[in-house]
Amino acid sequence: MNPDASSPFADGAPSNSPTEAQTQGPAAGFLVIGVGHSGGAIAERIAASGMSGAEVVAVDTDLTSLRLLGGVKSVAFGAKSARGGGCGNDLAMGATAAYEDEGVWKQRFAGVRLVCVITGVGGGVGGGAGPVIARLAREAGALVLGIAVLPFDYEGSLRRSNAATGLDALRSGADAVICVPNQGVAAMLDDKTPLIEMFTAANDLVAQSVVSIWRLLHRPALNPVSFADLERLLRGRHAASVFAAVEVRGATRAREALERLQKHPFLQAGHMLVEADAALVAVAGGNDLRFDEVQGIQNQFQRLCEHAQLMTGAAVDPELEGRLVVTVIATRGGTVSLPATAPTAAASASTGASATAAAAATVSAEPVSDRLAFEEGGEPESIATGTGTRIGPMFVPPAPNFNEGQKRELAQRQIKNSMRRKKAIQTLFKFDVVSVSRFAQTEPVKRNGENLDEPTYARRGIALN
């Protein structure tokens, strides 16, 4: 909490030398931060897809979770509050953990132009710390794009209500928030898909979209899209912003790209396009990108987004030779159709209605500050405050060298564990009285996927003693 405390990075990260930071180059005005387990997993995918120039980092209080990641810089924080563990559904704890290192975050964000905070808002770290990190980045002068991963339906109402709270907080912390519903991915895949693959698929979809936005902003374009455009599109409307990107090869790639976008889970089967009141459609390809492809796609979107004010972009990137990438960001006025359950008293400071975004700096491509330069794929770096009592390990042992199989097993075990916990709570009330008896003959009252005729305490997973 004390910004004057000797910088933990000074002693905690020998790799973080200024010279190395300078080598990051001028393109690196973009920092991607994955918060919590879900954010970290997505950051890992983004790093793997090679966003050269931009910086990608995974942050978490949970050291075990960070160690599972490979190929992405990872940083641990909140050692005092979380003691190296997760925040287990406790948003307040996540927020405290993030504030614990407030000074450090601010230092790191200084001079960064665009920060993309990716976070699973249903998690303790994701929903608690993510919004705080977004807010700190914005306070440091960056334009902050929040990407909120929303829980699967099966995760239950506690997660959902946490996600609603976390999302509200993120909306007030970031300049713009885009929602990524995990359940949308589930709808796209077969029910029998292993859980782990479901997560991977979701992560890849998000990664693809983030990379494509970054490409949009940083690659020289024929018909460029600027930060200002992005800002205009998203600012204040993040309540119902969605994004999607597809990459297609082959002769019929333009048509295929359109088809895939219309079925894209993040666009709600094309509904979002029809209902959008503003949309950005950007087409990127290699030197072989043809005029009729760009024109065809843009025309099609003019028709699909019938009510929308449409912004278009086109870029040629030699790296994309043979491929066609279409990125869509669509926004709609009104409120987000999200879990409307009670925020817990422990929720972080934000209130439900405070979804307003504050002003943000317009971004231009200037050299990035040297403060936030992360080494690729190192061990988790601790950012616990320098002096005073330090609970939890300061130096984290290097990540054990897991092979793919081991990693998978470990991840699966984690998921199983969390499911077991959930089950244990739920078995406490198997009531034999029919729970909706009084309303048996009536149309159920559904709100946000919950049947409100069922007792609240049962849906909340409260055990009666």
Partner 1 sequence: MFDPGQVIVGLEIGTHKICVAVGEAGPKGELTILGIGQCTSRGVRKGEITDTQKAAEDIRTALAEAEQQANVEIQEVYLGITGNHITCEDSKGVHPIASYDRTITAEDMADAVGNAKQFNCAAGNEVIDSVRQDYCVDDMTGVENPIGLVGSVLTASVHVIRGRTARIETARRVVQSMQVSVAKPVFNGLASALAVLTPEQKRQGVLLIDLGAGATEYAFFYGGMLRHSGVLPVGGDHVSNDLACGLRISIDQAEQLKREIGSAVYDAAAVRGQYYEVPGETGLEPRQISLENFQRIMSMRLEETLELISRDLARAETFGLAQAGVVLCGGGARTRDIEKLVYRIFSMDVVKAHTHAVSGPADVLANPEFATAIGLVRYGAMRLQTRARSRFGIRATLQSLFGR
Binding residues for ligand GTP (CB under 6 A): 36-38, 41, 62, 86-89, 120, 122-126, 149, 151-152, 155, 159, 182, 199, 202-203
Q: Which two tokens stand for residue 129?
A: 């710390």
C-alpha–C-alpha distance, residues 270 and 435, integer Å: 37
C-alpha–C-alpha distance, residues 255 and 216, integer Å: 21
Smallest separation, CB 445 to partner 1 (Å): 5
AA identity, residue 380: P
Indicate whether 447 belongs to the interface with partner 1 (CB under 8 A): yes
Which of ligand GTP, partner 1, Mg ion, none does 358 bind, CB closer than 5 to 8 A by kind? none
C-alpha–C-alpha distance, residues 91 and 76, integer Å: 17
Indicate whether 37 belongs to the interface with Mg ion (CB under 5 A): yes
Do 348 and 132 meet the contact criterion of CB atoms below 8 Å apart? yes
Indicate whether 67 belongs to the interface with Mg ion (CB under 5 A): no
Residue of the chain from 102, 256, 277, 453 that contacts partner 1 (CB under 8 A): 453
Strand (E) or helix (H) holding 158: helix 156-173
C-alpha–C-alpha distance, residues 239 and 331, integer Å: 8
Indicate whether 464 belongs to the interface with partner 1 (CB under 8 A): yes
Closer CB to ligand GTP, 359 or 424, in the complex: 424
Which of ligand GTP, Mg ion, partner 1, none does 403 bind, CB closer than 5 to 8 A by kind? none
Nearest to 157 by CA among 455, 412, 401: 455
Indicate whether 249 belongs to the interface with partner 1 (CB under 8 A): no
Question: Which range, of 230-238, 246-254, 307-315, 442-450, touches partner 1 by CB under 8 A?
Answer: 442-450
Smallest separation, CB 104 to ligand GTP (Å): 19
Indicate whether 407 belongs to the interface with partner 1 (CB under 8 A): no
Indicate whether 173 belongs to the interface with Mg ion (CB under 5 A): no
Do 386 and 9 meet the contact criterion of CB atoms below 8 Å apart? no
Which of ligand GTP, Mg ion, partner 1, none does 353 bind, CB closer than 5 to 8 A by kind? partner 1
Question: Which range, of 15-23, 125-133, 332-340, 373-381, touches partner 1 by CB under 8 A?
Answer: 332-340
Q: Which two tokens stand for residue 276?
A: 């959008």
Smallest separation, CB 267 to ligand GTP (Å): 17
- 253-262 vs 291-304: helix axis angle to the nearest 10? 20
Smallest separation, CB 316 to ligand GTP (Å): 31
Indicate whether 251 belongs to the interface with partner 1 (CB under 8 A): no
Which of partner 1, Mg ion, ligand GTP, none does 182 bind, CB closer than 5 to 8 A by kind? ligand GTP
* Alpha carbon distance, N-terminus to C-terminus of the chain: 40
Encode 360-403 in three state secondary structure: CCCCCCCCCCCCCCCCCCCCCEECCCCCCCCCCCCCCCCCCCCC
Smallest separation, CB 335 to partner 1 (Å): 6
Residue of the chain from 21, 27, 195, 462 that contacts partner 1 (CB under 8 A): 462
Residue of the chain from 353, 387, 403, 404 that contacts partner 1 (CB under 8 A): 353
Which of ligand GTP, partner 1, Mg ion, none does 335 bind, CB closer than 5 to 8 A by kind? partner 1
Strand (E) or helix (H) holding 315: strand 309-316
- Burial, 453: exposed, middle or buried (Cβ in 10 Å; 0-12, 13-18, 19+)? middle
Closer CB to ligand GTP, 61 or 241, in the complex: 61
Sheet of strand 30-35: strand arrangement: 221-223, 309-316, 278-285, 323-331, 241-249, 176-181, 143-150, 114-120, 30-35, 55-60, 73-76, 381-382
Residue of the chain from 269, 342, 394, 415 that contacts partner 1 (CB under 8 A): 342
Closer CB to ligand GTP, 76 or 368, in the complex: 76
Q: Which two tokens stand for residue 439?
A: 């309303």
Indicate whether 62 belongs to the interface with Mg ion (CB under 5 A): yes
Question: Which range, of 210-218, 320-328, 334-342, 405-413, touches partner 1 by CB under 8 A?
Answer: 334-342
Residue of the chain from 34, 86, 151, 339 that contacts Mg ion (CB under 5 A): 86
Q: Which two tokens stand for residue 341?
A: 């359950």
Smallest separation, CB 169 to ligand GTP (Å): 13
Closer CB to ligand GTP, 152 or 214, in the complex: 152
Nearest to 370 by CA among 18, 14, 9, 12: 18
Q: Which two tokens stand for residue 150?
A: 């929303």
DSSP label of 132? H
| 3-state SS, residue 313 | strand
Residue found under tokens 């209080």: 61
Residue of the chain from 189, 312, 435, 461 that contacts partner 1 (CB under 8 A): 435
Which residues here bind Mg ion, judged by CB under 5 A?
Answer: 37, 62, 65, 86
Which residues here bind partner 1, judged by CB under 8 A?
Answer: 334-335, 340-343, 352-353, 429, 431-439, 441-443, 445, 447, 452-453, 455-458, 460, 462, 464-465
